[in-house]
Amino acid sequence: MITLFLSLILFVTNNQTAEKNENVTKFELVKLPYSTDALEPVISKQTIEFHHGKHLQTYVNNLNNLIQGTKFENANLETIVKESDGAIFNNAGQILNHNLYFTQFSPNGGGKPSGKLAAAIDAAYGSFENFQKEFETAGAGLFGSGWVWLAKDKDGKLSITKEANAGNPLAKGLTPLLGFDVWEHAYYLDYQNRRADHLKELWKIVDWKVVEKRY
Ligand code: MN
């Protein structure tokens, strides 16, 4: 009930903001496909509220301001990520990254992928368990802020890529399938310095149906 009420307030507030900035707002904050407390205890309500409502909202606001009057004013997000650099790239990359991140989770997630993606994972990593281990090792070993991604090339071949800061495999011509955020803002309230523990827990909420569709 409280969640519903808060969502309503957020909805009304967002709508007012959108109306006020009708002529300048281009990119919008992605809607969560679950309530802010739905991923507990893997990701707390507080972390979701800060991560989605504050950090991601800031990237959206920044990008909308930065692209005004540039050649990216009417470009879509993927184009901006592929062709920009500096502050525009950083904010666009982070929007793309977080849009993929927040929509790949579900309170009913977990388990294993199936179908073609499962077969591709087995072919590339031997087993799903071995893939998980390699993915966690890549994320835990990334120095500083960034992302670990599972990506595919144009032939469907899988790879795990480590990206610093706002990096996304898209900039290398790959298609991102699954991304774990290793910026401290993604886990510090819940796990403090225990990044590896956080990455291990994330498997419980991955919505493999969504990831399979991206493949
Ligand atoms: Mn983040």
**How far is it, in rounded angstroms, from Cα 68 to Cα 50?**
26
Rounded to the nearest angstrom, the distance between the alpha carbon of 51 and the centre of ligand 1 is 6
CB 161 within 8 A of CB 151: yes
Is 68 inside a domain boundary?
A: no
Which tokens hold the place of 169? 């495999």
139-154 pLDDT, tens per residue? 999 999 999 999 999 9
Res 24: pLDDT: 53
Which tokens hold the place of 156? 């469907």
Rounded to the nearest angstrom, the distance between the alpha carbon of 184 and the centre of ligand 1 is 8
Res 22: pLDDT: 47
Rounded to the nearest angstrom, the distance between the alpha carbon of 126 and the centre of ligand 1 is 30
Res 74: pLDDT: 93
Is 200 inside a domain boundary?
A: yes
Is 141 inside a domain boundary?
A: yes
CB 146 within 8 A of CB 162: yes
Is 120 inside a domain boundary?
A: yes
Q: What angle do CA 84, 91, 66 make, to 5 degrees?
A: 75
Rounded to the nearest angstrom, the distance between the alpha carbon of 38 and the centre of ligand 1 is 18
Res 210: pLDDT: 98
Res 19: pLDDT: 42
What's the DSSP call for residue 193? T
What residues contact residue 43 under an 8 Å CB cut-off, 6+ apart? Answer: 51, 105, 187, 190, 202, 205
Is 183 inside a domain boundary?
A: yes
Q: Where residue 157 sits, what CATH number does that domain have?
A: 3.55.40.20
CB 116 within 8 A of CB 176: no
Name the stretches of the chain with pLDDT < 50. 1, 8-10, 12-22
What residues contact residue 36 under an 8 Å CB cut-off, 6+ apart? Answer: 3, 6, 45, 48, 49, 52
Is 110 inside a domain boundary?
A: no
Rounded to the nearest angstrom, the distance between the alpha carbon of 127 and the centre of ligand 1 is 28
Rounded to the nearest angstrom, the distance between the alpha carbon of 24 and the centre of ligand 1 is 24
Res 62: pLDDT: 98
Rounded to the nearest angstrom, the distance between the alpha carbon of 168 and the centre of ligand 1 is 13
Rounded to the nearest angstrom, the distance between the alpha carbon of 181 and the centre of ligand 1 is 6
Rounded to the nearest angstrom, the distance between the alpha carbon of 145 and the centre of ligand 1 is 9
Res 195: pLDDT: 97
**How far is it, in rounded angstroms, from Cα 98 to Cα 110?**
19
Is 210 inside a domain boundary?
A: yes
Rounded to the nearest angstrom, the distance between the alpha carbon of 8 and the centre of ligand 1 is 24
Rounded to the nearest angstrom, the distance between the alpha carbon of 14 and the centre of ligand 1 is 21
Domains identified in the chain, total number = 1
Is 135 inside a domain boundary?
A: yes
Rounded to the nearest angstrom, the distance between the alpha carbon of 196 and the centre of ligand 1 is 16
Res 18: pLDDT: 43
